[in-house]
Amino acid sequence: MNTNLQKAVDGTRITPAEALDILKNTSWTEVVEAGDAIRRRMNPGNRVGYTAFRIVNYTNVCEVTCSFCSFCRPAHSPEAYVLSLDEIRRKTLEAKAKGADQIFLQGGVNRDIPLSYYTDVLQMLTREMGVKVRGFSPVELVRIAESNNITLDELLDVLKEAGLSSVPGAGAEILSDRMRQMLSPRKLTAQQWCDTLAACHRKGLPGSANIVVGSVETAEEIIEHLNYVRSTQDRAPDAAHGFKSFVVWTFQPQTDKFPIRHVRGDEYLKLLALSRIFLDNIPHIEVSLLGMGLSLGELGLHAGADDINSIVIEENVLQNHGLTTIEAAEKFITDAGFTPYRRSLNFD
């Protein structure tokens, strides 16, 4: 086995330069073998996790206008919306009827929404309906704080008090400022994204992180991204309040405003395994069934992943090609040769 891979398998942290060498110069099968070995060390046993939640896109108004997004609308668009509390309540009841007890609130950057809307929604979901809520990407959090003339720390206190229990590491795409300038120049810089999540972790709001590949990112930028994530996790106060998991996504062709390329299966599995190898401080790696399909997803469970992410009841930003019922998730994991277990969004 490659020396750097063996080093990682033996439990020693590898450097970004060593990870780059692995990505560029090592066969995907060797990397997958090492990723699987590390997964078995970090998550012993044969268990594979899944969770069940409903994504509620509370508004589609967004001023950020990422080049890859087909979901956002300007505030004056006839298709623009902000969901009422009643509409969110109805969607939550539907989710609960299908077995989901968690809501993932995700919207755009809509400065017309008052802070009281967010606290009312959170209080309704957690206190009235008894569901757990993950919500708000870093750019949403930063712009909500700005719009209300409060600091990010103050905003996080308010949202946590209202019921927010975790935050997604959404909007990372590729944490390289060259790529961010091309894909979403109005989003946060790579360092701002990390600092925002680090602030959430300090406030006791854990979450997840991801990478999205399949555009014109370079191998160096992929490693830069992984290193940003690992360094941010190193700043977390403890393991319970940082990134609980990491997912490798691929860009989906929603618009023709940015270069997109097919990510081959071997390329995906190699990156999934390298994520397991490099991110030695993040407990779980999730495979993206949505982006890569069920067959490759099954192989991902032998390449470092120990989780299939989620059954998805609704998602507007990305069309759903994954599993949609708890029974289907459990059957998929069992058929793949593993023992399914249901976890919360926070891996509680």
Q: How many CA atoms lie within 13 A of 238 on its CB side?
A: 2
Q: How many helices (H) and strands (E) does the chain have?
A: 13, 9
Least Å distance, CB 168 to ligand SF4, is 11
- By C-beta, is 109 or 164 nearer to ligand SF4? 109
List the beta strands (DSSP E) in the chain.
47-57, 102-106, 132-135, 164-166, 207-213, 243-250, 284-286, 307-312, 339-342
In the set 69, 175, 223, 229, which binds ligand SF4 (CB under 6 A)? 69
- By C-beta, is 35 or 108 nearer to ligand SF4? 108
Q: What is the 3-state secondary structure (H, E, C) of 118-138?
A: HHHHHHHHHHHCCCEEEECCH
Least Å distance, CB 176 to ligand SF4, is 17
Pairing of strands 243-250, 307-312: unpaired
- By C-beta, is 237 or 259 nearer to ligand SF4? 259
Interface mask toward ligand SF4 for 72-101; x: CB under 6 A? x-----------------------------
139 binds ligand SF4 (CB under 6 A): yes
Which residue stretch of 59-67, 92-100, 145-153, 219-227 sits at the interface with ligand SF4 (rule: CB under 6 A)?
59-67
Report the C-alpha gap between 7 and 33 in whole angstroms.
13
**Residue bearing tokens 């891996």:** 347
- Chain-centre distance for alpha carbon 136: 11
Which of these, 272, 189, 270, 263, lies nearest to 228 by C-alpha position?
189
213 binds ligand SF4 (CB under 6 A): no
Phi and psi based region of residue 272 (left: phi greater than 0; alpha: psi -120 to 50; beta: remaining): alpha
Least Å distance, CB 139 to ligand SF4, is 6
- By C-beta, is 257 or 264 nearer to ligand SF4? 257
Least Å distance, CB 58 to ligand SF4, is 11
In the set 2, 65, 252, 281, which binds ligand SF4 (CB under 6 A)? 65
Which residue stretch of 22-30, 68-76, 204-212, 267-275 sits at the interface with ligand SF4 (rule: CB under 6 A)?
68-76
Report the C-alpha gap between 149 and 329 in whole angstroms.
43
Phi, psi at 166, each rounded to 5°: -160, 170
Helices (H), 240-338: 265-278, 289-300, 326-335
64 binds ligand SF4 (CB under 6 A): yes
Which residue stretch of 62-70, 218-226, 279-287, 320-328 sits at the interface with ligand SF4 (rule: CB under 6 A)?
62-70
In the set 108, 169, 242, 304, which binds ligand SF4 (CB under 6 A)? 108
Which residue stretch of 60-68, 85-93, 111-119, 238-246 sits at the interface with ligand SF4 (rule: CB under 6 A)?
60-68
Radius of gyration over alpha carbons of the chain, in Å? 19
Residue count (the chain): 348
Report the C-alpha gap between 332 and 48 in whole angstroms.
10
For the record, the structure tokens of 110 come out as 């809509």
Least Å distance, CB 140 to ligand SF4, is 8
66 binds ligand SF4 (CB under 6 A): yes
Q: Which residues, numbered 179-208, are part of the site for ligand SF4 (CB under 6 A)?
A: 184
Q: What is the DSSP letter of 139?
A: H
- By C-beta, is 64 or 282 nearer to ligand SF4? 64
- By C-beta, is 251 or 338 nearer to ligand SF4? 251
Residues that contact ligand SF4, how many (by CB under 6 A)? 12
Q: Which residues, numbered 155-174, are part of the site for ligand SF4 (CB under 6 A)?
A: 171
Least Å distance, CB 207 to ligand SF4, is 16
Q: What is the DSSP letter of 61?
A: B
Q: Which residues bind ligand SF4 (CB under 6 A)?
A: 62, 64-66, 69, 71-72, 108-109, 139, 171, 184
